[in-house]
Structure 1
Amino acid sequence: MSSVLKTFVVEDDSEQLATLKQIITNHIMINDFDMELTLATGQAQTLLDYVQSHESVEGLYFLDIEYPGQDLNGLSLATKIREADVNAKIVFVSTHSEMAFLTFERRIEPLDFIVKDLGQDTVKAKVETDIRVAYERYTKQGATSKAMFSYSKGGQLFNVPLEQVLFIETGTSRNKLVLHLLDRIVQYNGKISDETVAHPELFRVHKSFLVNPQMLVRIDKQHQLGYFENGETVDIAIRKMHDLVALIKQSDLSVTMD
């Protein structure tokens, strides 16, 4: 998940587009939300092109129902957005209140449906409320989503929080790995080179060891050892020591070095 919630607007009426832009940017600035108005346009296809050309977009989208003269209407656009951004917060701002039921038929799951005819003050208040609700859900989603480590054993996939992983070492037999967790040790089939690629958050300190830098508590430079809170240690290759120390300093980790 990115640190900034991206916000998008598609409104083909230039005056209404300008009004929505002002409401959104002002509310973000006043509340100091980690949000940005990424794209505001009158063309539905422009937004779709953006979403489909950027990976892992998580956004708040303000859409109309109809875009006369365009290939995409708001419902089709929302459906395609939902396919690309499963966590999309979609708000319809439209005069077509009679079309609201179609958003349920198509399983778009909108955050809100704002009727323009309610008046500018009411529309403004509802847009601001939707921004706050979307931002609150976005931040809670980020707080509850944990980085996970996955491994396969006996044909079954297991997931453990990355914060429980200390290190991985090569086993005594070919293509065997030993996963050291906070509360247990697990053996499974695999190659340490593959795990290095699959889990860039881990660091290869030695041909036989892949560590979670977040879990290190001490580095002994003289004896080239890394220590964990439970007393376990790993060897650190001379050529890897400099990069590991640099990573620890860059990440501002609480690791004692001697």
Structure 2
Amino acid sequence: MLSTIILEDDLHQLHVIEEIVKNRIVINPTPHEYDMRVDLVTANPDEVVQFIQAHQAYCLITDIDLKHKLSGIDVAEIVRNNSRFSEIIFVTAFGQYLPLTITRHVEPLDFIFKSDAEGPMPQRLRETIDEAYGRYLKFIATPEREVERIAYHPTKGLVKTVAVDQLFYIQAVKGKSRLI
């Protein structure tokens, strides 16, 4: 299940975003509800930091200026560094912070301006939720194990790798030191 977190300091905007997300979970381009839910709706970044310790996959929808010691970018960075899967959507009025999201390596899925609340903002948020859910489905469909690889040198200066589970056996070459 994709856990959705909404972090916004303006209570009106918080409820608007929450309604858009809840409606999109139920009413979407697929014949079924999305396998996601809104687990946390808050104006306090500290609650988000505590919440992410217990869950693995998130869709974080956040403002940037939260009138708190932690900004939305700080929280997004914590989420990105502590989860196996996370999609981050900024819904903000502060476009000047977009370059900061790049330099801090937050990798947001989208950067939506609040000023479009009556126009394209709700539609863009719905489309971004669709994209985040599609990426989540791809994430859960891939195997979780990492493939262990072994490196070898077939000729001087050339390094190749092969997956360990693809090897049948390894044999040392007699009379040649360090060759297998």
**Hey, what does 1:27 align to over in structure 2?**
24
Q: Is the 8 A contact 1:64 1:92 kept in 2?
A: yes
Cα distance, 1:158 vs. partner?
5.6
Alignment of 1:21-170 (within 5 A): 21-31=18-28, 32-51=33-52, 53-55=53-55, 57-68=56-67, 70-143=68-141, 145-146=142-143, 148=145, 160=165
Give the residue type in structure 2 aligned to 1:128. R
Q: Equivalent residue for 1:13?
A: 10
Higher share in strand:
1
Identical aligned pairs, as a percentage? 27
What is the CA-CA distance between 1:88 and the residue it aligns to?
A: 1.1
The unaligned stretches of length 5 or more in structure 2 are 151-161, 171-180
Q: TM-score, normalised by structure 1?
A: 0.55
The Cα of 1:79 is off from its aligned counterpart by 1.0
CA shift digits 1:216-246 (9 cap, x unpaired): xxxxxxxxxxxxxxxxxxxxxxxxxxxxxxx
Partner amino acid, structure 1, of 2:105: R
1:79/1:186 Cα in 2 relative to 1: closer, same or farther (>3 Å)? same
1:87 Cα offset (Å): 2.5
Query: Which residues in structure 2 correspond to 1:228-243 (within 5 Å)?
Result: none
- Distance change >3 Å, CA 115–CA 158, structure 1 → 2: same
Aligned-partner residue type, residue 12 of structure 1: D
Per the alignment, in what secondary structure is the counterpart of residue 101 of structure 2? helix
Instruction: Give distance in 2, aligned partners of 1:94 and 1:148.
Output: 37
CA shift, 1:48, in A, is 0.9
1:82 Cα shift?
Answer: 0.9
SS at match of 1:120: coil
Aligned-residue RMSD, C-alpha? 2.6
Alpha-carbon distance between aligned partners in 1 of 2:112 and 2:148, rounded to the nearest angstrom: 46
Counterpart for residue 154 of structure 2: none
3-state SS in 1 of match to 2:4: strand
The alpha-carbon deviation at position 114 of structure 1 amounts to 0.4
Alpha-carbon distance in 1 for matches of 2:145, 2:38: 31
Letter in 1 for 2:118: Q
Query: For 2:27, what is the secondary structure of its paired residue?
Result: helix
Structure 2 CA distance for partners of 1:28 and 1:109, relative to 1, 3 Å: same
Q: Which residue of 2 aligns with 1:170?
A: none
Relative contact order (C-alpha < 8 Å, sep 6+): which is higher?
2
TM-score calculated relative to the size of structure 2:
0.77
1:39 partner SS: strand
Cα pair 2:85 2:139 within 8 Å, conserved: no
Q: Distance in 2 between matches of 1:149 and 1:108?
A: 23
1:243 is matched with none
Distance across 2 between alignment mates of 1:36 and 1:63: 16
* Cα pair 2:63 2:92 within 8 Å, conserved: yes
Distance 1:184 1:137, change over 3 A: same
